[in-house]
């Protein structure tokens, strides 16, 4: 990598700190309120905030605002989610300034989303030089690698990987770091970014440049916003699966992001700065190359500026273990040796032992067990709906037709012959022939230790994995999103136009080409026996979905839940929810209801297993009613199984 002019006048001009610094009160400290609220107080404030911002949005968009009772009855996690969504889409140019009393309530509410025990002090982070024996490279003494939530990192500045608009992401369902940081900081930070763009008369922020604001309700003091390069697919769209290598110009742009952030931090006199993995999310920059550029650029800059910078610590923040590995490999190349494995385990990996121990203790002392399972559990058994390799291996015809994941098949774009060739192949592979897996078998052993009908399964998975693994599911299973073993009228022509799929499958599957996934005999396309219309598997893939086959399951679940709560209260024992692989695709179906149960009932505990989104609302953590296991379901269930049975 060639050296760059780190102190060029053009870069200083682009940073333009003096032209906006005073307009956003950059040097005025933002003082946190000290209020720690109980659950009732959080509910009241969330209701007030949601009512204000919902009314504001409804008036601006000519929508009818929801009834007060509807807002008040929401569980706190749902109130919080709706509030964050309203703030995400709120553009400072389109709305009036937030009243001071509302802003003060919002600050208190956002600050209560962070458990003080979750805050990681930058000063206490181990330096990378501790990972190597007899290595005196001065660079390593100024570097830390930390895996965790960057919004919980107490340092001078964290780096936000934004977009060229610099105002944050306006898509409420995006879980990009831009959204995560803005959501916790609060709307003042977006207002500051808006002021910067106006004062500098910018329509877009340049790739590779940076701007700084206060961090407000984050754990850091400042946020430095930078825009990294996008790796585009052949159609000019950014795509995580684009697969191409970055150009020399894109690599230089990424290096420029790091240099601009370091220059800006140094101008403000900051001592510590934490970098996220810029451009490696939806912007699709390869993670290994991004780590190489990040480390070598920072190393070169610190070397050139070692006598004229305030920066004493640079933190590379990662969120996933596989991203962490790329940084470790680069450190090893520089050091010329492998890291000390013991030190690596102690200093780099987030501590999960305490949460595992708590989860095991809850399971052992519980009276009943509710298993709430979603796609993450099936993925741990090999059925990963986000896996490109799975589609390529199982369904080469689909792959050739441009479908890269099983999720992408729900978007349409298939002929009837390809659609039913794939669906019947999926029924054959998944519903009838998927092999038993260790994760389900260990989960079953835990469940079966709860005798006398004291466990129940509620799942959004339609794949039949619990039956395939011989769970005793009679009167204990609610498949709320449907079942691959059923087929329905797509119209539908009646509330009862649902039938077992077996007859249709056996008639058609022999005519499915295993290479192309095409159903070669059109006469085998299923037709509704009542109206002659088109059919589809009985899964919730549209508003045509018929839930009637699962009404009895829903009644059984509600009866079991009511009885189990009463029994737990009477015996003063726990009802444990073991939630596995439930993300944010449809949080109102499982995720929020499980949080609500733990929130409303004193003897319910929530164990959340999710490799990407294990976060639990702060009020459940501080109330010792929820723990998060940020790991793959296979590993988490194995640890729980070992601890539960004292293996």
pLDDT in tens, 102-135: 999 999 999 998 888 889 999 999 898 888 776 7
Q: Is the pLDDT of residue 7 over 60?
A: no
Lowest-confidence region among 30-34, 162-166, 173-177, 448-452: 173-177
Q: Region 152-159: what's the mean pLDDT?
A: 96
Q: Name, in order, each residue with C-beta under 8 angstroms of 307's C-beta and a sequence gap of 6 or more.
A: none
What's the pLDDT band for 507 if we cut at 50, 70, 90? very high
Compute the distance between CA of residue 108 and CA of residue 36 in angstroms, rounded to an integer.
8
What's the pLDDT band for 30 if we cut at 50, 70, 90? very high
Compute the distance between CA of residue 371 and CA of residue 550 in angstroms, rounded to an integer.
17
> Residue 329, Cβ neighbours under 10 Å: how many?
15
Length of the chain: 647
- Residue ranges of the annotated binding site are 489, 493, 528, 531
Read off the tokens for 341. Answer: 């494995």
- Asked if residues 633 and 371 have their Cβ atoms less than 8 Å apart, the reply is no
Compute the distance between CA of residue 524 and CA of residue 421 in angstroms, rounded to an integer.
10
- Residue ranges of the annotated binding site for Zn(2+) are 489, 493, 528, 531
pLDDT reported for residue 232: 61
Q: Region 345-354: what's the mean pLDDT?
A: 42
Compute the distance between CA of residue 377 and CA of residue 391 in angstroms, rounded to an integer.
18
What's the pLDDT band for 305 if we cut at 50, 70, 90? very high
Q: Among all chains, which residue has been given the structure tokens 């835990």?
A: 446
pLDDT reported for residue 294: 97
Tell me the C-alpha to C-alpha distance, in Å, between residue 430 and each of 94, 273, 465, 466, 536: 49, 48, 8, 12, 16
Tell whether the torsion through CA atoms of 369, 372, 376 and 379 is positive or negative.
Answer: positive
Residues in a beta bridge with 458? 372, 478
- Asked if residues 468 and 497 have their Cβ atoms less than 8 Å apart, the reply is no
> What is the enclosing helix (H) or strand (E) of 270?
none
Tell me the C-alpha to C-alpha distance, in Å, between residue 246 and each of 118, 193, 261: 36, 29, 21
Q: Is the pLDDT of residue 238 over 80?
A: no
pLDDT reported for residue 242: 45
Q: Is the pLDDT of residue 346 over 60?
A: no
Tell me the C-alpha to C-alpha distance, in Å, between residue 259 and each of 166, 252, 306: 18, 10, 14
pLDDT digits 0-9 by tens, 75-92: 888 888 889 999 999 998
Compute the distance between CA of residue 268 and CA of residue 160 in angstroms, rounded to an integer.
17
pLDDT reported for residue 75: 81
pLDDT reported for residue 12: 64
> Residue 67, Cβ neighbours under 10 Å: how many?
9
- Asked if residues 503 and 408 have their Cβ atoms less than 8 Å apart, the reply is no
What's the pLDDT band for 324 if we cut at 50, 70, 90? confident
> Residue 37, Cβ neighbours under 10 Å: how many?
18
pLDDT reported for residue 469: 96
Compute the distance between CA of residue 275 and CA of residue 314 in angstroms, rounded to an integer.
8
Every domain range in the chain assigned CATH 3.40.220.10? 9-28+120-348
What's the pLDDT band for 94 if we cut at 50, 70, 90? confident
What's the pLDDT band for 257 if we cut at 50, 70, 90? very high
Tell me the C-alpha to C-alpha distance, in Å, between residue 165 and each of 33, 203, 226: 31, 7, 11
Q: Is the pLDDT of residue 68 over 60?
A: yes
- Per DSSP, the residues of 603-638 read TEEEEEE-SS-----HHHHHTT-EEEE-S-HHHHHH
Q: If we measure between CA atoms, which residue out of 541, 538, 548 comes closest to residue 501?
A: 538
pLDDT reported for residue 444: 97
Lowest-confidence region among 335-339, 481-485, 575-579, 642-646: 335-339
Please give the sequence-ordered ranges of beta strands (E in DSSP) within 409-540, or none if there are none: 455-459, 477-479, 482-489, 498-500, 535-539
Q: Among all chains, which residue has been given the structure tokens 């299923």?
A: 526
Q: Name, in order, each residue with C-beta under 8 angstroms of 487's C-beta and a sequence gap of 6 or more.
A: 498, 499, 500, 501, 504, 526, 535, 536, 537, 538
Compute the distance between CA of residue 642 and CA of residue 556 in angstroms, rounded to an integer.
31
Write down the CATH number for the domain with range 9-28+120-348: 3.40.220.10
Paired sense of beta strands 222-227 and 157-162, if any: parallel
- Asked if residues 274 and 151 have their Cβ atoms less than 8 Å apart, the reply is no
Q: Region 632-646: what's the mean pLDDT?
A: 94
The alpha carbon of 366 is separated from its chain's Cα centroid by a whole number of angstroms, namely: 29
Q: Name, in order, each residue with C-beta under 8 angstroms of 563's C-beta and a sequence gap of 6 or more.
A: none
Q: Region 605-633: what's the mean pLDDT?
A: 87
pLDDT digits 0-9 by tens, 375-389: 999 999 999 988 899
Q: Is the pLDDT of residue 493 over 90?
A: yes
Percent of the chain whose predicted confidence (pLDDT) is above 90: 67
Q: If we measure between CA atoms, which residue out of 337, 336, 258, 264 comes closest to residue 296?
A: 258
pLDDT reported for residue 76: 86
Q: Region 393-414: what's the mean pLDDT?
A: 85
pLDDT reported for residue 176: 85
pLDDT digits 0-9 by tens, 282-297: 888 888 999 999 999 9
Buried b (16+ CB within 10 A) or exposed e, 218-231: bbbbbbbbbbbbbb
pLDDT reported for residue 343: 39
Q: In angstroms, how far is the first alpha carbon of the chain from the final one?
A: 51
pLDDT reported for residue 8: 55
Q: Is the pLDDT of residue 233 over 50?
A: no
What's the pLDDT band for 6 if we cut at 50, 70, 90? very low
> Residue 102, Cβ neighbours under 10 Å: how many?
14
What does residue 112 show for φ and ψ, rounded to 5 degrees? -75, -10
pLDDT reported for residue 60: 85
Q: Region 478-488: what's the mean pLDDT?
A: 97
pLDDT reported for residue 9: 55
Between 345 and 569, name the one with better pLDDT.
569
Read off the tokens for 148. Answer: 């965790």
Q: Is the pLDDT of residue 537 over 80?
A: yes
What does residue 36 show for φ and ψ, rounded to 5 degrees? -105, 120
Read off the tokens for 542. Answer: 């549209």
Write down the CATH number for the domain with range 355-383+434-480+548-640: 3.40.50.1220
What's the pLDDT band for 341 if we cut at 50, 70, 90? very low
- Model pTM score: 0.71
Q: Region 624-629: what's the mean pLDDT?
A: 91
Torsion, CA 528, CA 533, CA 535, CA 541, rounded to 10? -130
Q: Region 326-335: what's the mean pLDDT?
A: 90
Compute the distance between CA of residue 421 and CA of residue 419 in angstroms, rounded to an integer.
6
Between 619 and 561, name the one with better pLDDT.
561
Compute the distance between CA of residue 405 and CA of residue 91 in angstroms, rounded to an integer.
34
Q: Mean pLDDT of all residues in the chain? A: 89
Between 319 and 466, name the one with better pLDDT.
466
Q: Name, in order, each residue with C-beta under 8 angstroms of 329's C-beta and a sequence gap of 6 or more.
A: 288, 291
Q: Across the chain, which distance is largest between two alpha carbons, in Å?
A: 82
pLDDT digits 0-9 by tens, 418-451: 999 999 999 999 999 999 999 999 999 999 999 8
Look up residue 511 and give its DSSP letter. G
Q: Is the pLDDT of residue 336 over 50?
A: yes
In three-state secondary structure terms, 540 is coil
What does residue 612 show for φ and ψ, rounded to 5 degrees? -110, -35
pLDDT reported for residue 340: 66
Buried b (16+ CB within 10 A) or exposed e, 70-97: ebeebbbbbbbbbbbbbbbebebeeeee
pLDDT reported for residue 349: 41
Every domain range in the chain assigned CATH 3.40.50.1220? 355-383+434-480+548-640
What does residue 619 show for φ and ψ, rounded to 5 degrees? -65, -25
Q: Is the pLDDT of residue 234 over 70?
A: no
């Amino acid at each position: 990598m060639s050296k760059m002019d780190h102190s060029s006048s053009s870069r200083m001009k682009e940073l333009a700190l003096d032209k906006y610094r005073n307009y956003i009160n950059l040097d005025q400290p933002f003082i946190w309120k000290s209020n720690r609220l109980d659950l009732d107080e959080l509910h009241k404030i969330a209701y007030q905030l949601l009512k204000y911002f919902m009314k504001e949005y409804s008036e601006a968009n000519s929508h009818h605002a929801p009834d007060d009772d509807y807002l008040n009855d929401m569980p706190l996690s749902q109130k919080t989610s709706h509030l964050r969504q309203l703030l995400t889409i709120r553009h400072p140019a389109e709305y009036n300034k937030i009243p001071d009393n509302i802003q003060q309530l919002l600050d208190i509410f956002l600050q209560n989303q962070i458990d003080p025990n979750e805050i990681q002090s930058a000063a206490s982070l181990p330096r990378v030089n501790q990972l190597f024996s007899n290595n005196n490279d001065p660079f390593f003494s100024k570097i830390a690698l930390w895996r965790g939530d960057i919004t919980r990192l107490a340092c001078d500045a964290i780096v936000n990987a934004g977009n060229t608009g610099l105002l944050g992401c306006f898509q409420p369902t995006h879980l990009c770091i831009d959204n995560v940081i803005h959501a916790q900081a609060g709307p003042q930070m977006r207002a500051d970014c808006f002021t910067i763009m106006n004062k500098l008369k910018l329509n877009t922020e340049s790739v590779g440049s940076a701007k700084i604001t206060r961090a407000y309700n984050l754990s850091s003091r400042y946020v430095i916003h930078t825009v990294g390069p996008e790796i585009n697919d052949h159609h000019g769209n950014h795509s995580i699966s684009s697969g191409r290598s970055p150009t020399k110009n894109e690599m230089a742009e990424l290096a420029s992001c790091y240099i601009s952030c370091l220059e800006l931090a140094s101008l403000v006199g900051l001592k510590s700065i934490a970098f996220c993995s810029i451009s490696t999310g939806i912007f699709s920059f390869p993670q290994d190359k991004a780590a190489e550029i990040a480390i070598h650029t920072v190393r070169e800059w610190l070397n050139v500026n070692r006598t004229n910078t305030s920066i004493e610590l640079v933190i590379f923040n990662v969120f996933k273990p596989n991203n962490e590995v790329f940084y470790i490999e680069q450190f090893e190349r520089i050091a010329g040796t492998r890291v000390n494995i013991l030190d690596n385990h102690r200093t780099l990996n987030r501590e999960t032992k305490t949460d595992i121990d708590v989860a095991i203790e809850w399971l052992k002392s519980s009276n009943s067990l509710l298993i709430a399972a979603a796609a993450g559990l099936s993925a741990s058994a090999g059925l990963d709906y986000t896996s490109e390799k799975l589609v390529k291996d199982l369904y080469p015809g689909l792959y050739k037709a441009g479908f890269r994941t099983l999720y992408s098949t729900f978007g349409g774009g298939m002929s009837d012959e390809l659609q039913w060739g794939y669906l019947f192949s999926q029924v054959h592979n998944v519903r009838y022939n998927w092999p038993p897996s260790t994760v389900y078998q260990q989960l079953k052993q835990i469940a079966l230790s709860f005798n006398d009908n004291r466990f129940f399964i509620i799942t959004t998975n339609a794949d039949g994995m619990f039956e395939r693994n011989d769970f005793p599911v009679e009167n204990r299973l609610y498949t709320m999103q449907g079942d691959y073993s059923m087929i329905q009228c797509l119209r539908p022509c009646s509330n009862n136009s649902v039938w077992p799929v077996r007859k249709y499958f056996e008639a058609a599957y022999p005519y499915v080409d295993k290479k192309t996934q095409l159903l070669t005999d059109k006469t085998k396309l299923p037709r509704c026996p009542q109206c002659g219309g088109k059919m589809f598997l009985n899964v919730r893939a549209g508003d045509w979905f018929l839930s009637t086959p699962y009404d009895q399951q829903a009644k059984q679940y509600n009866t079991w839940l009511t009885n189990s709560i009463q029994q737990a209260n009477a015996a003063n024992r726990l009802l444990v929810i073991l939630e596995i692989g439930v993300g944010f695709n449809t949080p109102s179906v499982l995720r929020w209801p499980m949080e609500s149960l733990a929130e409303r009932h004193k003897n319910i505990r929530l164990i959340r297993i999710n490799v990407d989104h294990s976060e639990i609302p702060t009020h459940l953590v501080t109330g010792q009613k929820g723990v998060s296991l940020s790991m793959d379901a296979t590993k988490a269930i194995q640890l729980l199984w070992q601890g539960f049975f004292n293996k």
